[in-house]
Amino acid sequence: MNDSIGSTTGLIAFFDILGYQNLLNNNPEINTSILEILDIIENLPEEAKKILVDSSKKAESTSNSQVTNNIVFPEIRKTISAIKHLVFSDTILLTLQYDDTDDELAIRMKHMVMLAISATVAAQMFAKGLPVCGVLHKGEFFVKNNCFVGKAIVDAYQLCNELNYSGVVCSHKFSEHLEKLSTESKVPEYKLAFRYLTPMKNEREEKLYNINWLINTKNLDDIESIVLKAFWSHNKDCSIAVDKRIQNTAKLIRKMLFINSQLVNK
């Protein structure tokens, strides 16, 4: 990325860490514990990229297709390496630009990779006791060094701020891509997302595509305890005001596990 400001069109994954202010209030001292938390947040984007790269290498080792091994998997890893990220305060931002030379296949691959890394970030943060809510969006933004600005980022932030659970949704703009895929069979991107009556603030609900960040998980024991542990981790409190968010997150997890069980049986 060069040093000059230039607009670009591409994909944005915007994540907000839930309970971050409460976490800081309950860990006021700059000690080993809070530094470990900050390290988790700072290193997570690169860790998520490594998980995807390792997963592609594992899939490549079991594939018998020379075309897939020689072309598809290297392109997937190239696309993963092209993802830029910025971490500030309670926000993680990932971006992936379209190139002028991108054909339909290249664009689809970028969409698939961003779906996969969004799922990975959400799953890893939840497992580390730092639940997030997030939005995968498509639009125009501006870049300079490590700064990202633009209406698309604001739009992603505003939608993210309306969510009342730990989950990741696709914006209406990105959902146009998923709607197209819904008419096609056996596309991996479509299995990573599903239509869900999504809990919003002020007791609202909206049917949005949700990213299945538990795609490889078939079952979990005591979901409520798992969710509470994630929300309580790192000395966080769970006030009465957060109870609905916790309930909504547990319900989402049950939905994802139900979908995963159906995929296995097909």
In three-state form (DSSP H/G/I as H, E/B as E, the rest C), the secondary structure along 106-125 is HHHHHHHHHHHHHHHHHHHH
Q: What pLDDT sits at residue 264?
A: 64
Amino acid identity of 80? I
| Amino acid 33: pLDDT | 78
Residues spanned by the domain of 141: 6-265
Q: What angle do CA 175, 134, 28 make, to 5 degrees?
A: 175
Write down how long the chain is.
266
pLDDT for 266: 56
- What are the pLDDT digits (tens) for 106-134? 998 999 999 999 999 999 999 999 999 99
Pairing label, strands 168-170, 132-144: parallel
What pLDDT sits at residue 139? Answer: 94
Q: What does the alpha-carbon distance between residue 214 and residue 216 come to, in Å, rounded to a whole number?
A: 6
- Quote the CA–CA distance of 86 and 134 in Å, as a whole number: 14
Has residue 52 got a pLDDT over 70?
yes
List, for residues 151-168, the tens digit of each pLDDT value: 999 999 999 999 999 999
Distance between CA atoms of 88 and 109, rounded to whole angstroms?
28
CATH number of the domain to which 220 belongs: 3.30.70.1230
Closest CA to 189 of 109, 107, 80, 94: 109
Question: CA–CA separation, 67 vs 54, rounded Å?
Answer: 19
Mapping DSSP to helix (H, G, I), strand (E, B) and coil, where does residue 52 land?
A: helix
Rounded Cα distance, 210 and 19, in Å: 21
Interhelix angle 104-127/32-62, nearest 10 degrees: 140
Q: Are 129 and 229 in contact (CB under 8 A)?
A: yes
In a domain, residue 70? The reply is: yes
| pLDDT tens digits, one per residue of 204-232 | 999 999 999 998 888 899 999 999 999 99
Q: Is residue 1 part of a domain?
A: no
What's the structural domain count of the chain? Answer: 1
Is a pLDDT exceeding 90 seen at residue 145?
Answer: no
Under the banding of pLDDT at 50, 70 and 90, the label for residue 3 is very low
Residue in the structure block whose two tokens are 């290498």: 57
